[in-house]
Chain A
Amino acid sequence: MGLYHITNNRTTAVALKDIPVVEYVDLYNDLKERMCDVRYHVGHYFAVEIENGLKFYLLLLDDETSEVLITSFVPDYYAEGLASLTAIHPQFHPFEREMHELYGIPFDSHPWLKPLRFSYDRRDKSSTMDSYPFYTIEGDELHEVNVGPIHAGIIEPGAFRFICDGEQVLHLEIALGYQHRGVETEMVRNQNRLRQTLIAESIAGDTAVGHATAYAEVVEKLAGKQASKALNLERMIAIELERIAMHLADTGALATDIGFQLFQVACEALRTVTINTSQAWCGNRFGKSVIRPCGSNHPLTAEKIAMIRKNIADVRRRYNEVREDILESQSLLARFDQCGLVPRDEMIRIGGVGQAARASGLLRDLRTTHPWGYYAEIKHESVLKHECDVMSRLATRMDEVLQSADYIEKALSEYTPNEAIPAPDYEPQLALESLSFSLVEGWRGEICHVAITDAQGDIAKYKIKDPSVHNWLGLAIAVRSEGISDFPINNKSFNLSYCGHDL
């Protein structure tokens, strides 16, 4: 058996006994070389309590072959620390920090093992928000600006500490964890699948469909059920609707932040049409209740298909006009061009994912590289931009809206109404002692859910990764050496989730 068990995003769950248990030294040496290649990035990396210690699982994604590499190791971590991978490949930082926080694992030569989210079951209870180890720089010319954790408006809590030289930002540190709700524990505590679905929908309020799809996929893989074509089409329509709605909202929010009223109101109006379409379909503007494991409560009827088709065509046409105006607006371009640069190399190093990575010319798009459901059929071509700035991130969004509208149209024409879609099954028999993962490209980026079942077929461990976990560091890098007043537009251009990160 090699170092990894090789699988992909479309097969069923992996039996735990099929996952090799390797020596950490071998894995470390392999990853040291392997991760230098841009085709690999970390999907998930976490530890599970077993008898007498911890077992570590690592999911590695190969973007070239669509393979997912899974491996595990059981170190004697009390004897010695583990050599830190973050020191060589910074993209491991949130995972190693999380494990250090939860279990006190001393990763040797890790640059900075500060807490990730202050989980209530963390090892060191004396480490709290109030003793957060903020980075400081000494200097008479410098001043610190602390923003948050409570913000104006509807923003979630999170503390931003800027170290500035006049108006210029030298360093931004982002401290999160204020939103920690114990989602992962909650997913395990209650084995009611419907309840788990509802929790999954609430992991990040703006990615309800994305996280619910990831959960449904995990359960279906464990149950050994393959979603039918009609069900996959429905899920694709739902997730692309969400993508359109959020990209529209962010276009509007970016316009708001530079005080550009016309684009703001145009995008707000279009977003309302989009989320009302969701509501007319399933009764919820954010697409909650569309995605259910092993079936659906809202099969599309001929009238609903016509309604979605009409609305989305309308949104697409009107948004395209807005898009063309945006690309010609000098005062807007003056703000967004060359602002908040995150070069491609930097994106690779921090493990950036999703549309932010694509705006820096880095192809991280699960729809292309690790397709699931109906995406395997459509041969998705990702939108890639190479300017690496705020405008580039906006342009990615704008192009993706048009692309998503086309996909919805395509899916609707493939869909035969009144086809029998089974009702959701909340009590499927799950494979015993298996690991199941799902990779879903939400509007923000890569969502990865992993579940491990026990000998009774209950979910014993549930791990969630929102794309924000990777990308928050990207925001911190983007504002370096920018004016502090340009932080808001950079923040909006990423639009990351606080609660998705804090869980």
Chain B
Amino acid sequence: MLVKLLNTLLMVVVALSITGVINRTRALLAGRKGIRFFQHIYNVRLQLRKGAVYSTTTTALFRIAPTVYLGATLLAFLFIPIADLEPLLSFHGDIILVAYLLALSRVTIILAAMDTGSSFEGMGAAREALYGALVEPALMMGMATLALFCGYSSFADIFSMAQELDMNLTIVLFLLAYVFVIIMIIEAGRVPVDDPKTHLELTMIHEVMCLDYSGVDMGLIHIAGWLKNAIFAVIAANAIAVAVSFHWWFAAPLAILITGVTIGVIESLRARNKLSRNITYILTIVAMSALVLLTGFLLIQNIEI
């Protein structure tokens, strides 16, 4: 039980730290001192203390959406182990549940955005639906690769069996980590797919869907975002940990650094994609995911080509 609690605690630390590392990396590269490391947490604390303002055109759907969004993400969050630790929840086939919980959270927020009747949010919802549909195969194939390696279909089992893996699979695991980091960038709406810092409604994807949310609802959406980041970050870190050193004290910091630094560096050193190019970008990740699955399959079966 203690192990499970430690796992959950570490997951929370990862979730809370990634945004801080991103901000710090960006500030360093821009030659700035930067905001406090945990400033984003203070901001959300402030939001949670506030009430919420609702547009008169919205329905109950709009009001429950942040709760469902956070709830679904939190549930998925509890299934993820950090390297050799055990997650709070686990059962056979939970990787499918996690994928669908994430899809549920996405659909909820899309519906809520459509509910406002705003043309901006409609555009954002259309974009999010398109990118969500495109990135899902990458996620599923990535998880399938893990399941294939271990013959199990729950995160806990997959990673607990991982030490016995053939070292030939190392390269596949690194590729898998790469795929998950990019999936996280897409899901979190960071550069080059989206830009959370922009004030331009016409170019937003994720942010524009939350334009009508305020106060406590906005806070919930932010928290759900952090949890979502942690899910992908930890899966990516686990994939590397399997190949390098399968311990929680290695995987947890790695999860924070690998995503935080990568995103911070990317956001400083390159421009956003043209919106129409995002489709190509996401499909490339899907293709890479398919490649990982295929290579993994060939290696597992010892098939010689």
Interface string of A251-278 (1 = CB under 8 A from B): 0000111111110010000000000000
Residue of chain A at shortest CB distance from B197: A259
CA distance A262 to B30 in the complex (A): 6
**Given A152-B199, A167-B275, A483-B274, does the pair A261, B29 have CB atoms closer than 8 Å?**
yes
Residue of chain B at shortest CB distance from A336: B271
Partner of B198, one of A257, A332, A335: A257
Interface string of B187-204 (1 = CB under 8 A from A): 000011001011111110
Q: Which of B250-267 contact A (CB under 8 A)?
A: 267
Q: Which of B267-302 contact A (CB under 8 A)?
A: 267-277
- B198–A259 contact, CB under 8 A? yes
Is A485 an interface residue, CB under 8 A from the partner?
yes
Which of the listed residues B192, B195, B202, B276 has the most CB atoms from chain A within 10 Å of its own CB? Answer: B202
- A486–B274 contact, CB under 8 A? yes
- A488–B200 contact, CB under 8 A? yes
- A143–B119 contact, CB under 8 A? yes
Is A302 an interface residue, CB under 8 A from the partner?
no
Which of the listed residues B30, B32, B122, B267 has the most CB atoms from chain A within 10 Å of its own CB? Answer: B30
Is B120 an interface residue, CB under 8 A from the partner?
yes
Partner of B201, one of A152, A258, A334, A486: A152
Is A147 an interface residue, CB under 8 A from the partner?
yes
**How far in angstroms is the closest Cβ of chain A from B79?**
33
**How far in angstroms is the closest Cβ of chain A from B114?**
13
Partner of B202, one of A258, A260, A265, A488: A488
Is B70 an interface residue, CB under 8 A from the partner?
no
CA distance A31 to B70 in the complex (A): 67
Is B236 an interface residue, CB under 8 A from the partner?
no
Q: Which residues of A are found within 8 Å of B200, using beta-carbon distances?
A: 152, 257, 488
Is A137 an interface residue, CB under 8 A from the partner?
no
Q: Which residues of B are found within 8 Å of A143, using beta-carbon distances?
A: 119, 122
Interface string of A347-373 (1 = CB under 8 A from B): 000000000000000000000000000
- A335–B123 contact, CB under 8 A? no
Q: Which residues of B are found within 8 Å of A255, using beta-carbon distances?
A: 271
- B31–A265 contact, CB under 8 A? yes
Is A145 an interface residue, CB under 8 A from the partner?
yes
Is B26 an interface residue, CB under 8 A from the partner?
yes
CA distance A260 to B29 in the complex (A): 12
**Given A167-B275, A335-B272, does the pair A259, B267 have CB atoms closer than 8 Å?**
yes
**How far in angstroms is the closest Cβ of chain B from A180?**
25
- A262–B274 contact, CB under 8 A? no
Interface string of A475-503 (1 = CB under 8 A from B): 00000000111111000000000000000
**Given A259-B267, A261-B267, does the pair A334, B120 have CB atoms closer than 8 Å?**
no
Q: Which residues of B are found within 8 Å of A487, using beta-carbon distances?
A: 202
CA distance A145 to B199 in the complex (A): 17
Q: Which residues of B are found within 8 Å of A52, using beta-carbon distances?
A: none
**How far in angstroms is the closest Cβ of chain A from B128?**
13
**Given A145-B123, A483-B274, does the pair A261, B268 have CB atoms closer than 8 Å?**
yes
A side interface size, CB within 8 A:
29
Q: Which residues of A are found within 8 Å of B270, using beta-carbon distances?
A: 260, 329, 331
Interface string of B174-189 (1 = CB under 8 A from A): 0000000000000000
Q: Which residues of A are found within 8 Å of B277, using beta-carbon distances?
A: 334
**Given A257-B203, A488-B202, does the pair A483, B269 have CB atoms closer than 8 Å?**
no
**How far in angstroms is the closest Cβ of chain B from A159?**
13
Q: Which residues of A are found within 8 Å of B271, using beta-carbon distances?
A: 255, 258-260, 329, 331-332, 334-335
**How far in angstroms is the closest Cβ of chain B from A257?**
6
- B202–A259 contact, CB under 8 A? no
Q: Which residues of A are found within 8 Å of B30, using beta-carbon distances?
A: 261-262, 265
Interface string of B25-41 (1 = CB under 8 A from A): 01001111000000000
Residue of chain A at shortest CB distance from B191: A259
**How far in angstroms is the closest Cβ of chain A from B116?**
14
Which of the listed residues B31, B120, B123, B203 has the most CB atoms from chain A within 10 Å of its own CB? Answer: B203
Q: Which residues of B are found within 8 Å of A145, using beta-carbon distances?
A: 119-120, 123, 202
Q: Which of B118-160 contact A (CB under 8 A)?
A: 119-120, 122-123
Q: Which residues of A are found within 8 Å of B269, using beta-carbon distances?
A: 262
- A265–B272 contact, CB under 8 A? no
- B274–A261 contact, CB under 8 A? no
**Given A258-B272, A335-B271, does the pair A484, B202 have CB atoms closer than 8 Å?**
yes
CA distance A314 to B123 in the complex (A): 44
Is A153 an interface residue, CB under 8 A from the partner?
yes
Q: Which of A220-267 contact B (CB under 8 A)?
A: 255-262, 265
CA distance A486 to B276 in the complex (A): 10
Interface string of A130-141 (1 = CB under 8 A from B): 000000000000
- B276–A488 contact, CB under 8 A? no
CA distance A259 to B278 in the complex (A): 15
CA distance A483 to B26 in the complex (A): 28
- B32–A484 contact, CB under 8 A? no
**How far in angstroms is the closest Cβ of chain B from A136?**
14
**How far in angstroms is the closest Cβ of chain B from A484?**
5
Is A146 an interface residue, CB under 8 A from the partner?
yes
Residue of chain B at shortest CB distance from A152: B199
Which of the listed residues B120, B197, B268 has the most CB atoms from chain A within 10 Å of its own CB? Answer: B268
Q: Which residues of A are found within 8 Å of B267, using beta-carbon distances?
A: 259, 261
CA distance A267 to B7 in the complex (A): 45
Q: Which residues of A are found within 8 Å of B203, using beta-carbon distances?
A: 257, 485, 488
- B202–A144 contact, CB under 8 A? no
CA distance A259 to B274 in the complex (A): 11
Q: Which residues of B are found within 8 Å of A153, using beta-carbon distances?
A: 199
Q: Which residues of A are found within 8 Å of B26, using beta-carbon distances?
A: 261
A binding-site residues for B, Cβ under 8 Å:
143-147, 152-153, 167, 255-262, 265, 329, 331-332, 334-335, 339, 483-488
16 more CB-based (< 8 A) A-B contacts, given A258-B271, A485-B203: A147-B202, A152-B201, A153-B199, A255-B271, A259-B272, A261-B30, A262-B30, A265-B30, A331-B272, A334-B271, A334-B273, A335-B274, A339-B274, A487-B202, A488-B202, A488-B203
A-B contact pairs, 14 of them (CB 8 A): A143-B122, A145-B202, A152-B201, A167-B276, A257-B198, A257-B200, A261-B30, A262-B269, A331-B273, A332-B271, A334-B273, A334-B274, A483-B274, A483-B276
Top 10 nearest A-B pairs (CB, nearest first) are A259-B195, A258-B271, A331-B271, A331-B270, A485-B275, A259-B272, A485-B203, A488-B200, A152-B199, A260-B271
